[in-house]
Chains A and B, each alone.
Chain A
Amino acid sequence: MAAKTDNNPITMDTFLSGIWKENPVFVMLLGMCPVLAVTNSVANALAMGLATTFVLLCSNALISLLRHHIPKEVRIAAYIVIIATFVTVVDYLIHAISLEVYNALGAFIQLIVVNCMILGRAEAFASRHRLSSTLINGLGMGVGFTIALLCLGSVRELLGAGTLLGFPIFGEAFEPWVIMLLPPGGFFVLGAWLLLFAWVKERQIKRSAAASVGEAAVNAR
C-alpha cells in the first residue's frame, strides 16, 4: 500500500490515547464480544486482555513492517491472515501454559481473530505509521482494552460471587448476586460503566461552561 508515512514525533499522546481518549471499549465500542463474554471473573479478564494485547502488538508490528509491500486491493485479507496466524500462536501458547485458562476462555481465544479492534488498528494506524509509533500506540490500545476488561471483570466478580481474584471480600453473610455472572449481567455492567463515563463527561462540559461564566462574572465585578 502506498502509504503516506508521517514523521510525527512520538508523543505521550500516541500511548495515552488508547487508554483514555480513544479507549477501544468505552469510547470506540470495538471488540465488544470478548469484553462481555469472558469478564465473569478478574482472572479470565486479565488473561483475555493479555492475549489480545499480544496479538495486537505482533500483528500490528508485522503489518507496519510490510505496509509498503501489501497491495491495497487485498489488504484486508492480508491483515486477517496475519492476525489469524498470531491468534493460532496464542491459542497453542495458552493451551501449553494453563489448561485451566484455556478451558475457561474456550472458543473466545480463537475468536480474537474477529476482534474489530485489532483489524481497526491495523487499518487505521499500523498501515500508515512506522514501527516504533505503531508499537507504542498498539501497547496503549492493548493496555486500555485490558483495563476495560478488568473494570468489567472486577465488578461482575465482586457482585456475582463476592470474591476478587478468588479471594472472598464480603465475608460469610454475603448473598451472591448470581445474575451478574450470567449473560444479562455483562450487558448491565457495561451499560452502567458507559453511563458513568457519559455522566463524567457531561459534568466536565457543564463545569467548564460554568467556569467560563463565573470568570466573566468575576471580571465584571
Chain B
Amino acid sequence: MHADSLGFIFLNAAIINNFVLALFLGICPLLGVSGKLNTAFSMGVATALVMLISSISAWLINEVITHFDLEFLRLIAYIAVIASAVQLVEMTIKKYSPPLYRALGIFLPLITTNCAILGVALFQTNYEYSFVQSLFYSLGAGAGFILAIVLMAGLREKLELADVPSIARGAAMSLMLAGILSLAFMGFAGLGG
C-alpha cells in the first residue's frame, strides 16, 4: 500500500500508530471509563463522533487561518471548536438516550480535555492532509480509540474475578494491562510498510 493511500492512513491511525496504545493520547478515559464493557463502548463511540466533527471543522478552520496568516490562533480556535463539538454531542445524547447520559456522567464533558481529539486535529495539520485524507485519519483514530478502550474494558471485566494482590488493584493493574496491550500492538509495526 502507498503511504498516502486512504486505506493506509486509516490503518495507520487505527492500528499501527494506535492513538491510545502507541501515541499515549486519551489515557484518562482509558483508565477512567474502562470498568464496564457497555459504558466503554458508548464512550468510545461518543469520542469517535466528536473526533470526526472536530476534525472536519479543524480542517476548515485551518484553511481560513492559513489564508489570513493567523497561525498563532490555531490552538485556541481548535480547542474552542472541540469544546463546542463536545457540547453538541452531549446535548444529542441527553435528548436521545438519557440512561447513557447518566452512565457516562462526568466523563462526557471531559471529552473536551481528551488529548486524542486535539491530537487528531494537530496531527492532520502537521501532516498537511487533504480534506478526504483528514476524514479517513479521524475515522481511523476513532476506530482505534474504540478498539483500545473496548479491549481494555474486556480485560478488566475478566480481572474482576482474578485474585490480584491488594496493592496492585486499580490504576497499577490497569497500567500493566495497557502495557501488555501496547506490546501486542507493536506487532503491527511492520504492517503496510
Contacts and interface: CB of A to CB of B under 8 A. Distances in A.
A113 B27 contact: no
Interface stretch (B56-64, B89-97, B134-142, B175-183): B175-183
Contact of A36 (B24, B75, B114, B171): B24
Interface in A180-216: 182-188, 190-192, 194-195, 198-199, 202
A134 B120 CA distance: 33
Contacts of B24: 32-34, 36-37, 183, 186
18 contacts: A32-B24, A37-B23, A76-B83, A88-B76, A107-B126, A110-B122, A111-B122, A114-B112, A114-B115, A116-B28, A182-B186, A183-B22, A187-B175, A188-B175, A190-B175, A198-B167, A198-B168, A199-B167
- What does DSSP make chain A's interface, helix, strand, loop or mixed? helix
Given A33-B115, A110-B118, A183-B24, A116 B110 contact: yes
The majority secondary structure among interface residues of chain B is: helix
Given A114-B79, A202-B167, 13 more contacts: A33-B25, A81-B79, A85-B76, A87-B75, A88-B76, A111-B119, A111-B122, A114-B114, A184-B180, A191-B175, A191-B179, A195-B168, A198-B168
Interface string A74-98: 0011001100110110011000000
Given A37-B24, A194-B172, A81 B113 contact: no
Contacts of B72: 88, 92
Interface residues of A, number: 41
B106 to A, nearest CB: 11
Instruction: Please list the 8 inter-chain residue pairs (A to B) with the smallest Cβ-Cβ separation, ordered nearest first.
Output: A187-B179, A191-B175, A37-B24, A194-B172, A198-B167, A32-B27, A184-B183, A36-B24
A191 B176 CA distance: 6
A131 B7 CA distance: 52
Given A114-B113, A114-B114, A184-B186, A29 B79 contact: no
A111 B31 contact: no
The winner among B24, B79, B80, B167 for most chain A CB atoms within 10 A is B24
Interface residues of B, number: 41
Contacts of A29: 28, 31, 171
Contacts of A34: 24
B190 to A, nearest CB: 14
Nearest to B184: A184
A212 to B, nearest CB: 20
B21 interface: yes
Interface in B64-88: 72, 75-76, 79-80, 83
A33 B27 contact: yes
B5 interface: no
Contacts of A88: 72, 75-76
A139 interface: no
Given A33-B24, A107-B122, A110-B118, A184 B179 contact: yes
A56 interface: no
A77 B140 CA distance: 28
